[in-house]
Amino acid sequence: MDEPFGALDAQTREEVQDLLATVHARLKPTIVFITHDVEEAVYLADRVLVLSERPGRLIADIPIQLDRPRSQSDREAMIFTQLKAGLRRLLRNNDK
């Protein structure tokens, strides 16, 4: 899935993220989800692969060890905030 929720408003985006999580919990498919939204990556993923700019190379493979099922209120948890901050630092440092 290549940025499938990118054009949605914030509220609809969260609803569709929860729908995807429900489908995933029920059917257990493997999903490769591409996003530029760090918060979305942390919310949906079991692991986040961070790629560099061209030429694309793997910078990091970050496990997201948050309990499932997740809810929108999990976004306020300290561990969620720490994961987001760590990914943002990684991205900023790689831009140099």
Number of domains in the chain: 1
| Residue partners of 65: CB distance under 8 A and separation at least 6 | none
Half-sphere exposure of 46 (CA within 13 A, CB side): 10
Is 29 part of a structural domain of the chain?
A: yes
Would you say residue 85 lies in a domain? yes
pLDDT for residue 53: 85
Residue 67 neighbours by CB distance under 10 Å: 8
Whether residue 4 lies inside any domain: the answer is: no
Q: Would residue 1 count as lying in a domain?
A: no
- 3 assigned to some structural domain: no
Does 5 map to a domain? Answer: no
Closest CA to 75 of 23, 37, 49: 37
For 53-86, write each residue's pLDDT tens digit: 888 899 999 999 999 999 999 999 999 999 999 9
Strands (E), the chain: 47-51, 58-63
32 in a structural domain: yes
Q: Is 58 helix (H, G, I), strand (E, B) or coil?
A: strand
